[in-house]
Amino acid sequence: MNKQLLIVGNWKMHLTVHQSSLLVHRLQQHIKTHRDIEVVLAPSMLVLQPISVELDKRRFKLCAQDAYFKDEGGYTGEVSFAMLGDLVQYAIIGHSSRRLFFGETLDTVRDKVQASIRNDIMPIICVGETQQERDAHETRQVLHDQVTTALMNVTSKDIEKIVIAYEPLWAISAFNKNVTAKPEDAQKAISFIRQQVSELYGDRAAKHMRILYGGSVNEHDARSYLELPEVDGVLVGAASLNYLQFTGIVDAAHQIQTERKS
Ligand code: PEP
């Protein structure tokens, strides 16, 4: 099965509207259309609307970095998935920044996954262990708990819309500069996640699910993750803010797809 590779750029809390517009302009100049690759941009909430007008929607999709699980109400400062429905195709849910800095719990992630599906937005659920959990050999337990809770109320029909990103916290630039996971670590964890999905929804669903790797991926090492048989794409943070680096990652994905076809 030759799935589309999914390349997601998480701009985090970077770039003003103007800077974002410049980056989009550059990306549109440099990234070609590849039918076997889906390129998704996750700018700040403020930027989604202005960027949506400039974006070539045949080449790029938009993604929210988070949203609140209630559709509407007196929740000052929040934006709901319902409000984002017309703007984005994807939403990152349970990013480690949210879990660590904003106290997001397993249950909150589960509720956000439901809200996302309810509003026709495809969730990209982030899971991954901390350095401490890794040292204590708790990676599997953490992944098991995060995956099973996030998918708790997801039906067999809706499982097709779910993307999971394995992002070990110890390899994310915000927590640990210059540390990356070895491809075999990424492969092992992603294989374990797929096994969890298979136990819950069967082999077919598990095979079809797109599972990404994220953690300081750049244009030089993207290939080493993307060529792993179980990795269906990458979630890119810091390197997605630089059009040359991000383009390099998309090019690496295209090269792999071309080689797979030949
Ligand atoms: C992220 O925060 O989702 C991420 C993958 O960041 P970075 O690539 O900067 O480690």
The H or E element spanning position 90 is strand 90-93
CA–centroid distance, residue 174 to ligand 1 (Å)? 7
Each residue of 222-241: pLDDT tens digit?
Answer: 999 999 999 999 999 999 99
User: Would you kindly state where each structural domain of the chain is located, as residue ranges?
Assistant: 5-261
Each residue of 53-105: pLDDT tens digit?
Answer: 999 999 999 999 999 999 999 999 999 999 999 999 999 999 999 999 999 99
The span from the CA of 112 to the CA of 46, in Å, is 20
Q: What angle do CA 252, 258, 259 make, to 5 degrees?
A: 90
Mutate to test the pocket of ligand 1, among 6, 7, 8, 10 (most ligand atoms within 8 A of CB): 10
| Pocket of ligand 1 from Cβ distances under 6 Å | 10, 167, 172-174, 214-217, 235-238
The span from the CA of 248 to the CA of 242, in Å, is 10
* H-state helical runs in 119-138: 131-135
Atom of ligand 1 minimally distant from the CA of 96: 2
The CA dihedral of 9, 64, 171, 2, to the nearest 10 degrees, is: -60
Smallest CA separation from ligand 1 atom 1, residue:
237
The answer to whether 105 touches 149, Cβ cutoff 8 Å, is no
How far CA 14 is from CA of 20, 94, 135, in Å, comes to: 9, 19, 31
Residue 233: which of 250, 260, 212, 214 has the closest Cα?
A: 212
Q: Is 21 helix (H, G, I), strand (E, B) or coil?
A: helix
Write out the two tokens for 130. Answer: 């901390």
Each residue of 139-196: pLDDT tens digit?
Answer: 999 999 999 999 999 999 999 999 999 999 999 988 887 788 999 999 999 999 999 9
CATH architecture of 5-261: Alpha-Beta Barrel (3.20)
Mutate to test the pocket of ligand 1, among 90, 217, 221, 241 (most ligand atoms within 8 A of CB): 217
What is the reported pTM?
Answer: 0.97
The one catalytic residue in 38, 167, 219, 230 is 167
The span from the CA of 261 to the CA of 11, in Å, is 31
Decide if 167 is catalytic: yes
DSSP classification of residue 68:
B
